[in-house]
Copies of this chain bind each other. A is one copy, B any other.
Amino acid sequence: MRRHRRLTPQPGLPPETPVPTGEKKVEHTEIALITYDQTHFDEKAVEAVEDCAALKGVATPTWLRVVGVHDVEMLQKLGEGLGLHPMVIEDLLDTTQRSKVEFFDDYIFVVARVFRADEGGTAVESEQVGLVVFDNLIVSFEEGGVDVLSPVKERLRTSKGRGRQMGADYLVYSLLDAIVDAYFEVIERLGQRLEDLEEAIVTDPAPSALQAVHDLRTDVSYLRKCVWPLREVMSCLARGEAVMIGESVTVYLRDVYDHTIQLIDAIETYQEIVSNLVDIYLSGVSNRMNEIMKRLTVVATIFIPLTFLVGVYGMNLKGMPEYDLPWAYPALWGVMVFVVVAQVAYFRRRKWL
């Protein structure tokens, strides 16, 4: 996961010059036109971007899917054709937007950050998805690296269920639902890292573990920063403020909104657990130090008196009566063994051993 979001604007450039940010994820921009109703489903590639202008005001649900947002000229043509505000195109080109929804006269514009955890591995990719919602026409803009919308298309193609019976606004719900659901996978990945770290820290509180905890904390915090504006977007849509989205679909959007709340709950739980991990790490380090201290104390306090004793009888003074006692040596050993046993007993009673 990219931690520090590269910040957008490039000061000094004229504000009206749209510049694509971020690395190019696909070579060519591809536009697919998907039309469907209860009985048929059709998908074809759009060759000339100028044709898209005619799509405004279609009668049947239509999904114009744009993959690749680095072709400034093409996007501008498309925007002009559909009557989009220049700022919308600029927001699409700048792939570091905060999730947001904006209401215009005859369309709404949604930008969202989308995540995908790759299978098996630990890497997490993210990109920006833009949605422009007209009455019967949905235009989606993807960067092309992270594909979370294809399953929605597949479902639309194969199933004749609710998705095909309801209008284009239900498609908006399906797309947003797919975007939010992808977050849960990322959360699960983070949960896995969290558990691994927890075990690592309890077993061996190495300094590298603390670094890993801080990396995890930053990732969780970044995810939280991504989910909060998404929650606002969903809250805004679920309140039914957009006229393009019918009352019947609003109930479904409320469900997506509930999912974002669940996401935030989960993230906050993770944040608390990460905080606890730091505590446990520090406590583990200090316990280890205690262990070492105890070892030192035991060895030192056992041997220091003994060394003193043997020092006494290494002296060359006159008139030391013990020097003439034949049993002095074994007696001294007896005293020293007693001192050791007494100290060990004391340490055991104090639970230092």
Q: Which residues of A contact B (CB under 8 A)?
A: 4-5, 7-12, 14-17, 85-87, 90-91, 96-98, 100, 102, 148, 151, 155, 159, 161-163, 173-174, 177-178, 180-182, 184-185, 187-188, 191, 202, 204, 207, 210-211, 214, 217-218, 221-222, 225, 251-252, 254-255, 258-259, 261-263, 265-266, 268-269, 272-273, 276, 278-297, 299-301, 303-308, 310-320, 322-329, 332, 350-352
**Residue from A17, A284, A314 having most chain B Cβ neighbours under 10 A:** A314
Contact of A162 among B16, B217, B312 (CB under 8 A): B16
CB distance from A337 to the nearest CB of B (A): 13
CB distance from A293 to the nearest CB of B (A): 6
Measured CA separation A316–B325 after assembly (Å) = 11
A285 x B285 contact (CB < 8 A) = no
Contacts of A225 in B (CB 8 A): 265, 268-269
Additional pairs, 10, CB under 8 Å, beyond known A16-B161, A296-B296: A5-B266, A10-B181, A218-B272, A221-B269, A289-B289, A299-B300, A300-B301, A304-B304, A313-B315, A314-B314
CB distance from A72 to the nearest CB of B (A): 15
A7 x B184 contact (CB < 8 A) = yes
List 27 A–B pairs whose Cβ atoms lie within 8 Å, in order of A's numbering: A5-B266, A5-B269, A7-B262, A9-B177, A11-B182, A11-B185, A14-B159, A15-B252, A85-B251, A87-B255, A98-B265, A204-B351, A207-B287, A210-B279, A211-B280, A278-B279, A285-B286, A289-B289, A292-B294, A292-B297, A296-B296, A306-B311, A307-B308, A307-B311, A318-B323, A318-B328, A319-B326
In the complex, the count of this chain's copies comes to 5
Measured CA separation A170–B29 after assembly (Å) = 32
Contact of A316 among B15, B177, B280, B313 (CB under 8 A): B313
Contacts of A351 in B (CB 8 A): 204
A261 x B98 contact (CB < 8 A) = yes
CB distance from A67 to the nearest CB of B (A): 19
Contact of A317 among B8, B16, B329 (CB under 8 A): B329
CB distance from A36 to the nearest CB of B (A): 14
Measured CA separation A282–B214 after assembly (Å) = 14
A290 x B289 contact (CB < 8 A) = yes
Measured CA separation A257–B329 after assembly (Å) = 83
The 6 closest A-B CB pairs, nearest first, are A310-B311, A11-B181, A313-B315, A314-B314, A299-B301, A296-B297
Measured CA separation A259–B314 after assembly (Å) = 80
**Residue from A91, A177, A312, A326 having most chain B Cβ neighbours under 10 A:** A312
B292 x A292 contact (CB < 8 A) = no
Measured CA separation A4–B273 after assembly (Å) = 10
CB distance from A172 to the nearest CB of B (A): 12
Measured CA separation A284–B285 after assembly (Å) = 11
Measured CA separation A14–B174 after assembly (Å) = 8
Residue of B nearest to A104 (CB): B251
Contact A276 to B218, CB < 8 A, known contacts A91-B255, A314-B314: yes
A288 x B290 contact (CB < 8 A) = yes
Measured CA separation A155–B12 after assembly (Å) = 9
B284 x A207 contact (CB < 8 A) = yes
Contacts of A162 in B (CB 8 A): 16, 86
Contacts of A86 in B (CB 8 A): 162
Contact of A293 among B10, B17, B289, B306 (CB under 8 A): B289
